[in-house]
Structure 1
Amino acid sequence: MSDYPRLLHTAIDATDARGLSEFYRHLLGLTYRPGDEPPPDGDEDEADWLVLVDGQGGRVLAIQEVEELAATTWPVPLIPMQMHLDFGVADRVTLELHRRRAEALGARLLLDRTHDDTEPLYVLADPAGHPFCLLVATED
């Protein structure tokens, strides 16, 4: 037994749990936890809590459906970010590839900081409005 709790996953609110789960599933190459897969065609999807896992079955993200969600107004401070996810990539070419992929999946650009030589990044919003960063990052 560990002396500390362990992080199971990061939970994100959304008014469309399945839709946001699909965004992150495609963006990050994840799969659904067994039992959380989309229902067969024609069946109603009543899922309000979905878990996405990595290739080893480790939990990564959980998406929780809520009735209302006030999107952040960042960088205007009226409604702060409250939290955001950072996703690292190896180089600038890969950064551009994943920005285009994210936008094709429904993300929108909030900030372009690729001119920064020390830490080039994009801040995007997922389809539910949650900010996340794509940045060139070394393993550390």
Structure 2
Amino acid sequence: MAVARKGWTVIDCPDPDALARFYADLLGGEPRRGAGGQEEPVSDRWVELTTEDGWKLAFQRAEDFVPPRWPSGERSQQMHLDVYVDDIAATEPAVLELGARALDTDDEGGKRGFRVYADPAGHPFCLVRQS
């Protein structure tokens, strides 16, 4: 028996509104200001996004944010998101137009099945071919 259940995936960033908008454009849903699950007023330090398929992401302002470096043990990514798509090559231009940056797009002619990008705040995420 589980002792907990899933909650928010919280991502530190310098601008919660901008990063929430990026992920809303990528995954669907509408960002909204929240209180970080706390008994406090709504704040610009915390923005929530529930995607159209129910994924719950939150974006939290982190002062003096230093983005991860991929791949690097010195400033490791700590975590990343896998985003499933039908066609990676067809999706890539839209992701770049939204503000993502390509990190590793050598998918070995499609054999590897994923490509790595950074969101506008520098967090790595992967476009993964959905099988």
Q: Which residue of 2 aligns with 1:68?
A: 64
Q: Quick one: structure 1 residues 59 and 28, their matched pair in 2 at CA, closer, same or farther if it must change by over 3 Å?
A: closer
Q: Kindly report which structure 2 residues correspond to 1:71-110, keeping only aligned pairs within 5 A, or say none.
A: 71-90=67-86, 94-110=87-103
User: Please, which runs of 5 or more residues in structure 2 have no aligned partner?
Assistant: 35-42
- Deviations, residues 1-49 of structure 1 (Å, cap 9, x unaligned): x73311112100110110101100101112235xx39xxxxxxxx6110
Name the count of aligned residue pairs. 123
After the TM superposition, which segments of 4 or more aligned residues of structure 1 sit over 6 Å from their partners? none
CA separation in 1, counterparts of 2:50 and 2:69? 30
The percent of aligned pairs where both chains have the same amino acid is: 35
CA separation in 2, counterparts of 1:52 and 1:88? 18
User: Please, which runs of 5 or more residues in structure 1 have no aligned partner?
Assistant: 38-45
**TM-score normalised to structure 1 length:** 0.77
Which residue of 121, 124, 134 maps to 2:127?
Answer: 134
Q: Which residue of 1 aligns with 2:18?
A: 19
| 1:98 CA displacement | 2.1
SS of aligned partner of 2:89: helix
Alpha-carbon RMSD: 2.1
**TM-score normalised to structure 2 length:** 0.82
CA separation in 1, counterparts of 2:51 and 2:73? 34
